[in-house]
Chain A
C-alpha cells in the first residue's frame, strides 16, 4: 500500500488509527488494565469489605497467603490436577489427531465428533458426570458397570479415601478439551511434507512407530509447546467443573479446592477479603509465569528444531 507520508498525512493516519483501534483499546484500559492495577494495589493493603482501603500492610498479605493452609492446599490441588490433565490431554489429542489424519473414510465426521464436546458447557457436562455417569447410587453408569463385575457401588464424588472424585473431574475435562487440541495437532500434521516420509521409506524405514518417532513428532515441536503452555494455563483456571461437580446443597467441601475456588470464596464469599484475595491472585500469576517460562526453556522454546 502506498504509504501516506508527510505530516498532514501522518496526522490523518493518527486519527484513522484511533478511529479503528480507539474504542477497543479504551475498553481494554478500563476493563483490563484498571482491574489489574487495582488488584496489584489492593494486594498491599488491608482490604476487607472495602475497595478503597487506607491501611498499608506491605507484603503482609503475600506472607499470610503463602502461610495459609487453604491457599497452599489449593496449589497442591492444582498441581495434582495439572499432573493428570496435561499429559493425558496431550497424549490423547495427539493420538486422535494421528488416527483421524490417517483415516480415509469419514474423516470429517470423526473430526467433528471429537470436536463436538467443545460446544458443551461445564455445567451441562458436570450434570451428566455427576448425575448420570458417576452418581454414588447404583443406577449410575459407572456403578452399573461395576455391578457387572460384581463390585459394589462407589460414591464417586463424595469419596475422599481413595479420592475417586479425581477420576470424575479429570475425565470430564478430558472429554471437553481433547477435541480442540486435536484440531491443533491435525493442522500441524497436515503441514508435514510427505516428501519427508518418502525419503525415509526409500532409506528402508518402516511406517509406524519409527516414522512417528523420527519424523512426525519432531515436526510437531512448535505445536507441542503451544499445546503444553495452553493446557497448563487452562488447568490453572479450573473453576467451573470443580464448582459444579463438588458443590452440593451443603456448599463446597474443604478438600479439592483449586486456586480459583479458594480465591473466589476468600474474596467474594463470606470473607470479602480483597487484600488477601488479590495477593493470592498475584502469587498465582507469578507462579504460572515462572512455570511457563521454565517449561519453555526446558523444551527449547526459541531454539529451532535441532533434530
Chain B
C-alpha cells in the first residue's frame, strides 16, 4: 500500500522531507486535539481557573465536584437530557439499522418487477435537502401530537434513504455462494437474511450503526424544532440553551460538554475503523 516504488530516492534529502512530513503531522495532530483538551481542562476547572491571566496547562486541583454541581443546576436539565439522548440515540440506531438493512437486502436480492422504481424513488429523496422538509415535517409531527415526545424525536428520523442505499450497495456485493448454499438447505429469504447474511456483515453494520448513532446524538435542528418542552430536551439542546443563556457558569458549561462527548469519543475510538473499512469497500470512489 505505502510501498515506496522503485526509483524512490533515499539519502539525506529524503530524510529531511520525511522529518518535515512528520513535523507537519505532529503539529496538525496537536491542533486537532486541542479542542478536546480544552473541554476536559475547562470542565475540571473552577470559573477562576479559566478566566485568570495565569494560565495553567491543567488545573492543579481538578474540580470533580463540577459534575454534581452541573446535575444539581436547575437551569440545565442535564440528567433528563442525557437520559433522553441515550434513549433516542439507541432506539434510533437500532430502528434505522433494522429498517434499512431489511430494505437494502430486499432491494438487492429479491426479484420484483417494480424493485428498480422503488429504489429510484428512495434515492430521489436524497436530492431534497432538509430545508425543504423540516417545516412540513414539523407540521406533520405536531398534527400527530408528537411534539415534545420521544416518538416525535425518533420515528421521523428512522427512514434514512442514505442508509438504505448504502445497505443495498453493500448487499449487492455480498458473496452469493453463501446465500445459494442456504437456499439449497431450504432457508427462505427471511432465514437467509437473519442467519447467513447479517451475521457475516458485522463490520458494515457497525459502520452504519456508528454513523447513525453519532448523527442522532449530535443532532440539533430536529430536536430544536420538536423538543420544545424542557423535559424532552436532548443533551445538545440542554447544552445549547445554557451556552446562550444570560450568564452561564463556564466551568459547568464545559463539564456538560465533556460529559456529552465522552460516550461518542469512546465509541468512536473503538469503532471508527469500520467506517474507514466501509468507505474503502464502497464504490464511492469507483
Contact = CB atoms under 8 A, between A and B. Distances in A.
Given A28-B125, A244-B240, A132 B42 contact: yes
Interface string B162-198: 0010000000000010011001000011100100000
B86 to A, nearest CB: 15
A301 interface: no
Interface string B93-136: 00000011011011101111101001001100101111111111
B88 to A, nearest CB: 14
> How would you classify the secondary structure of chain A's contact residues: helix, strand, loop or mixed?
helix
15 contacts: A2-B183, A16-B110, A17-B106, A25-B122, A34-B136, A36-B136, A99-B28, A124-B39, A124-B260, A132-B254, A138-B53, A223-B285, A236-B129, A243-B220, A288-B129
Interface in A241-292: 243-244, 247-249, 259-260, 263-264, 267-268, 274, 277-278, 281-282, 284-285, 288-289
Interface in A112-130: 112-130
B6 to A, nearest CB: 5
A88 interface: no
A52 to B, nearest CB: 10
A38 B140 contact: yes
A99 B21 CA distance: 7
B218 interface: yes
B131 A120 contact: no
A116 B32 contact: yes
Given A110-B29, A115-B268, A274-B136, 14 more contacts: A21-B118, A35-B132, A35-B139, A36-B125, A110-B25, A116-B272, A120-B264, A123-B257, A141-B38, A179-B32, A198-B5, A249-B245, A278-B135, A285-B132
A187 B285 contact: yes
Given A36-B132, A120-B35, A278-B136, A2 B220 contact: no
B6 A27 contact: no
Interface stretch (A59-67, A100-108, A158-166): A100-108
Contacts of A123: 218, 220, 236, 239-240, 243, 257, 260
B21 A14 contact: no
Given A35-B136, A105-B22, A121-B217, A132 B280 contact: no
Given A20-B102, A127-B243, A32 B161 contact: yes
A139 B50 contact: yes
Contact of A32 (B3, B103, B133, B218): B133
Query: Chain A interface residue count: which class?
Result: 35 or more
Contact of A21 (B106, B225, B239): B106
Query: Chain B interface residue count: which class?
Result: 35 or more
Interface stretch (B59-67, B69-77, B151-159): B151-159
A274 B138 CA distance: 11
Interface in B256-274: 257, 260-261, 264-265, 267-269, 272-273
B11 interface: no
B189 A267 contact: no
B102 A24 contact: yes
B153 to A, nearest CB: 13
Contacts, number: 305
A285 B128 contact: yes
Contact of A260 (B39, B131, B176, B272): B131
A15 to B, nearest CB: 10
Given A139-B53, A222-B286, A259-B131, A126 B243 contact: yes
A262 to B, nearest CB: 10
B25 A103 contact: yes
A150 interface: no
A202 interface: yes
Nearest to A234: B129
B201 to A, nearest CB: 15
Nearest to A51: B139
